[in-house]
Amino acid sequence: MCGIVGAVAERNVVEILIEGLKRLEYRGYDSAGVALLTDQGEFSRVRRIGKVQALADAITDDNGKGTTGIAHTRWATHGGVTENNAHPHASSDRIAVVHNGIIENFADLRMRLRDKGYTISTDTDTETIAHTVHSLLEAHDSLLGAVQEAVSQFHGAYGTVIMDREDPSRVIVARSGSPLVIGLGVGENFIASDQMALLPVTRRFIFLEEGDVAEITRREVNIFDVDGHPVVREIVESTVEHDAGDKAGYRHYMLKEIYEQPTVVRNALAGRVSLDGLVPGIFGDNADALLSQIKHVQIIACGTSYHAGMTARYWLEQYANVSCNVEIASEFRYRKSVVHPNSLLVTISQSGETADTLAALRLAKELGYTSSLTICNVAGSSLVRESDMAFMTKAGAEIGVASTKAFTTQLGAFLMLTLALGQHNGMSDVDRTDILTGLQSLPAKLEETLELAQEIEDLAEEFADKHHSLFLGRGEQYPIAMEGALKLKEISYIHAEAYASGELKHGPLALIDDEMPVIVVAPNNELLEKLKSNVEEVRARGGIMYVFADKDAHFESDETMRVINVPHCAASVAPIVYTLPLQLLSYYVALIKGTDVDQPRNLAKSVTVE
């Protein structure tokens, strides 16, 4: 979603803000803006539609000066993509505001503000923050006091940073539902919506908690909790690699992240699992005793993370003998659900900040689950902090909007959870060995699978002029087909649907013709013969197929079917291995179509609004 950066320093902060925005650009990117204030009270505001570079190009010696500043990349929610709707928003030439999230009662606030004589000049909800704070300045002796009262009037989600033109010495920040992190420097302090933005200037961070309001000056950070009481929050030394934002010579972050998968999966397994089994305590200090009571798992997630949960359901029921439900967070949070006895709630999220998943976790806490576990990629994120247990996927920073390495490490985490639950629920030795040997050889299998890149790049040509496609899989490969379809639609804008192939004749077969490529995921497992029948059904209707298959599955290429042989692997890890060719396919199709691979249109990383 949107990105926020702010700074209070002795030096000119414009470059820090622009670099920070560039590092956050992957989160949202329809427009960007910056507001700067010098010690002498000179104020400038520059906003541009498009990439951060357009903003950077508009900065001059005249408008690019300031020791205090706030900046923003926008992903439009309220109001179209116009310069006027871009942040920072201002009130009465005095208050400037950047904001992530949604002020749900903005319409009411607008009416009240109009009654007080304010002119509403944008379509955004954020403008109401600026005017509300401004309207309260007189009643308070400080900007801090005005903001503390203002936030009590806001309903919805916000991470916001507010600057007063009459006081360049500070910014006030407030968090409710949208993350903010303070970066600590020497004689300068910073604020951002993600630590990635500030890594070039500091590695010491304070993650604000829900309801916190903080006053940031060059030398001090004063934090107040939701009740207005001063609080001290822990200072965390970041372990995120400084160069996590570099492409390392790859053309796109997505390609870099696809190729990182053998390494990050190896890291995610190291010290946690070996051929002897799971290392005790990997889910947390008291987790082993707790997991031994679990008889049911409820998984909640969105998007790609939801597909990881769908795959895990097959594993948990087949190998660990534990019943499992999987639900999209935005559905779960708005319906009444029944909690099974001894149920573990598992949320999955790359970012740890997805609004619906977080809301579902908070709701679930009231429903009587035995415990909650999050499988997450971002330490210190809201899901990690608010769950009873956190299992880090260790994928490293994922910048490409289309999730790749986060997904495969989520699947690795779920195989470890399957082992952990299976040992208390009668997992067979055969299954245990299959998972352990599968995991052991997984990084090497992923390396081998990436060698298919050239072959996949060649066949991507055949997709470039297509408008629709169908992905088929059975069993635990059905969610992998869903993930393949999601990747293709996200970055190549080709309509892609996934079906459990047994469903073909219940409707989608009507779509088959030679303009609708059909992608089949076909490892050599007990469902292979069933899948082959489905392939014949497609062939009989003149469909063109691309089959990703194990060599031993004995598919032969011919004029209607192109077979891509995927390295043979243990059945338990096949969903992870078969994910990679589908990622590569979507990448190369997008490349040929010339889309913005890392920042596909209309999408954003880290969906912090509902």
Choices 206-214, 215-223, 296-304, 525-533; region in contact with ligand F6R by CB under 6 A: 296-304
Q: Is 490 in the site for ligand F6R (CB under 6 A)?
A: yes
Least separation in angstroms between residue 590's CB and ligand F6R is 12
Least separation in angstroms between residue 112's CB and ligand F6R is 34
In whole angstroms, give the CA distance from residue 164 to residue 272: 50
In whole angstroms, give the CA distance from residue 606 to residue 205: 20
Choices 227-235, 346-354, 446-454, 566-574; region in contact with ligand F6R by CB under 6 A: 346-354
Q: Is 381 in the site for ligand F6R (CB under 6 A)?
A: no
Least separation in angstroms between residue 66's CB and ligand F6R is 33
Q: Is 350 in the site for ligand F6R (CB under 6 A)?
A: yes
Q: Is 403 in the site for ligand F6R (CB under 6 A)?
A: yes
Sequence-distant (6+) residues with CB within 8 A of 174 are 147, 151, 158, 159, 160, 162, 180, 212, 213, 214
**What is the number of the residue whose Cβ is closest to ligand F6R?**
303
Select from 85, 267, 349, 608 the one that contacts ligand F6R (CB under 6 A): 349
Least separation in angstroms between residue 353's CB and ligand F6R is 7
Other Cβ atoms less than 10 A from the Cβ of 396: the count is 19
Sheet holding 95-103, edge to edge: 89-91, 95-103, 156-164, 167-176, 213-216, 221-224, 230-231
Q: Is 473 in the site for ligand F6R (CB under 6 A)?
A: no
491-550 binders of ligand F6R (CB under 6 A): none
Select from 44, 73, 178, 357 the one that contacts ligand F6R (CB under 6 A): 357
Q: Is 395 in the site for ligand F6R (CB under 6 A)?
A: no
In whole angstroms, give the CA distance from residue 569 to residue 524: 9
State how far the alpha carbon of 437 is from the alpha carbons of 26, 73, 197, 317, 441, in Å.
37, 45, 40, 20, 6
Least separation in angstroms between residue 256's CB and ligand F6R is 15
Per-residue string for binding with ligand F6R, 587-606, x by CB under 6 A? -------------------x
- Is residue 218 within 8 A of residue 169, CB to CB? The reply is yes
Q: Is 302 in the site for ligand F6R (CB under 6 A)?
A: yes
Choices 349-357, 365-373, 449-457, 549-557; region in contact with ligand F6R by CB under 6 A: 349-357
Conformational region of residue 358, where left means phi above 0, alpha means psi within -120 to 50, and beta covers everything else: alpha
Q: Is 212 in the site for ligand F6R (CB under 6 A)?
A: no
Q: Which is nearer to ligand F6R, 304 or 572 (CB)?
A: 304
> b/e map of 483-518 (b: 16 or more CB within 10 Å)?
bbbbbbbbbbbbebbbbbbbebeeebbeebeeebbb
In whole angstroms, give the CA distance from residue 565 to residue 436: 24
Least separation in angstroms between residue 356's CB and ligand F6R is 8
In whole angstroms, give the CA distance from residue 382 to residue 365: 14
In whole angstroms, give the CA distance from residue 242 to residue 222: 27
Query: Which residue in 22, 487, 532, 605 is the catalytic one?
Result: 605
Q: Which is nearer to ligand F6R, 176 or 349 (CB)?
A: 349
- Collapsing DSSP to helix, strand or coil, 562 comes out as strand
Exposed, middle or buried by CB within 10 Å (0-12, 13-18, 19+), for 49? middle
Query: Which residue in 2, 302, 324, 376 is the catalytic one?
Result: 2
Token pair recorded at residue 90: 């201002």
Q: Which is nearer to ligand F6R, 57 or 331 (CB)?
A: 331
Q: Is 305 in the site for ligand F6R (CB under 6 A)?
A: yes
Choices 277-285, 300-308, 415-423, 459-467; region in contact with ligand F6R by CB under 6 A: 300-308
Choices 220-228, 303-311, 313-321, 544-552; region in contact with ligand F6R by CB under 6 A: 303-311
In whole angstroms, give the CA distance from residue 208 to residue 236: 11
Q: Is 355 in the site for ligand F6R (CB under 6 A)?
A: no
Least separation in angstroms between residue 492's CB and ligand F6R is 13
Counting every residue written for the chain, the total comes to 610
Select from 44, 261, 311, 354 the one that contacts ligand F6R (CB under 6 A): 354
Catalytic (active site) residue 530: no
State the maximum Cα–Cα separation within the chain, in Å, rounded to a whole number. Answer: 79
Choices 152-160, 297-305, 526-534, 590-598; region in contact with ligand F6R by CB under 6 A: 297-305
Catalytic (active site) residue 605: yes
In whole angstroms, give the CA distance from residue 215 to residue 235: 16
User: Nearest 10 degrees: CA dihedral of 445, 257, 309, 343?
Assistant: 100
Q: Is 304 in the site for ligand F6R (CB under 6 A)?
A: yes
Q: Which is nearer to ligand F6R, 3 or 64 (CB)?
A: 3
Residues that bind ligand F6R (CB under 6 A): 302-305, 349-351, 354, 357, 402-403, 486, 490, 606-607
Give me the active site residues, please. 2, 605
